[in-house]
Amino acid sequence: MIRGLLRLAVIGMALATVAGCDPTITPSAAPTIGPSSILLPPEPTPVVADSAMNGPWLRSPIRLRDPQIAVISDACAVAARNGLGAAEANLPTAVVDARGENVATAVMAEDERAIECRVRIDSAGGVTIDLVLRLAPTAAPPSEGDQFAVTDLVTVPDREDDRLLVTGRIDTAGLQVKVLFDDRAEVIASTANGWFAAWWPGRVRPREIVAVDPQGTVVETIPGPQGDVDGELGAASWWLDPSAPPPTAASVVIRGLVQETACASGRSPEGRIQGPLIELTETAVTVTFGVRHLRGAQDCQGNPAFPVTFELPDPLGKRPLLDGGENPPRDATIPVR
C-alpha cells in the first residue's frame, strides 16, 4: 500500500488566499464528541483574530498566518500529550485547514504515526480542542495510482445540520485536491506535506475526490465513499506472550499478545491491527499497537488477546519493553487484567 507518504518538512499552509469576510456566522456550541474533551485547557489559547476564520464557510481554504498555525499546533500538541502520549505530542504539523465558521482541522504526522486534531476558534481568537485522535496508516483504498487515499471521512455533529470532514494522504507534491459533488459543486482542500484536509456543511456525500496538477488536469481519482470512513486508530494493549521464552539482551524477535481496548462484541482484532510503532531510546523500548474500529454499535463483552510477532531494529539490550498503548507507557512484561 502507500509507503513513505509522511515525509514531512515544515508547518503546512493552505493553498488559497481568501480575503476577509464579515463575521456573520455565530458558531453553535460543540457537543462532547470524544474522551479528549476532558483534556481541554481551562482557558482558550489566544490566537490572532481573523475575520475570515470567524466568517461564513468558504469552499476554498483560508491562508493562515504563522502565529495562527503555531497556536493551533501548540494547542493540539498539549491535547495529544495529555490524551495520547509524548510521541504524538511531538509530531510535526503537516497541514492546518480553516475555512470559516470558527473551526479548523490540523493533521500532525511523521512516518507511520499521525493524529487528527479538531479545533474551535472563538470570536476573540481563543483555541479550544474538541477532539484529538490517532489516525490509522490506511483507512480507505487508495487511488489506482496508489499515491492518494482518504484517511478519515466522518460526520461531525457540531452544527445544526452537521458537517462532513475529510483528511487524507497524497504522495505527489504540487497537486491540488478537490472534493467534487453530483451538482458539480467543488470544495478545494488544504494540501501540504503529503496530507490534505477539508470540510463542508451538511451531510451530502462527494461523488469523487480528485488530485489536480497545476494545469488543471485530474491525475488521480478516488470514488466518493458511500459511508463514513473511520480512520481513528483505537487503543490496544500488548504484553509479552507468557508461552514464549522471555526475551534476552540479544533478542530482536519479540512474541506478544495484543488486546483491543474498545468494545468489539468479543471479536478478534485479526486483520485490524496496525503497527507496531517502535520508539527506541537509551533507556527503554516502547512499542505501540493500534486496532481499527469495527463499524456500528458493539457490545462490551471482553476482547480476546491475539498473538503477534515483531522485530526490533536493534537488540533489546538491558532496556525494558514498554506498551505505548497506555499513557504513560506500561511494563509490557505484565499481562493486562
Determine, yes or no, domain membership for 159: yes
Residues 94, 151: one domain? yes
Which residue's entry shows cell 488530485?
A: 211
Residue 3 pLDDT greater than 80, yes or no: no
Domain that residue 218 falls in: 35-223
For 4: left if phi > 0, alpha if psi spans -120 to 50, otherwise beta; the answer is: left
**What sign for the dihedral angle of Cα 173, 135, 199, 106?**
negative
Determine, yes or no, domain membership for 113: yes
Residues 60, 167: one domain? yes
Share of the chain above pLDDT 90, in %: 53
* Segment 114-144, tens digit of pLDDT: 999 999 998 877 899 999 998 886 666 666 6
Residues 50, 196: one domain? yes
- Structure-derived torsion over alpha carbons of residues 206, 160, 54, 115, reported in degrees to the nearest 10: -60
Residues 294, 315: one domain? yes
Q: What is the pTM of this model?
A: 0.71
* Segment 182-218, tens digit of pLDDT: 999 999 999 999 999 999 999 999 999 999 999 999 9
Name the residue with higher pLDDT: 252 or 303: 252
- C-alpha cell of residue 83: 490524551
Determine, yes or no, domain membership for 25: no
Determine, yes or no, domain membership for 27: no
Determine, yes or no, domain membership for 12: no
Residues 247, 158: one domain? no
Q: What does residue 164 show for φ and ψ, rounded to 5 degrees?
A: -110, 135
Residues 248, 294: one domain? yes
Question: Measuring CA to CA, which residue among 335, 320, 332, 232 is closest to residue 284?
Answer: 320
Structural domains counted in the chain: 2
Residues 218, 259: one domain? no
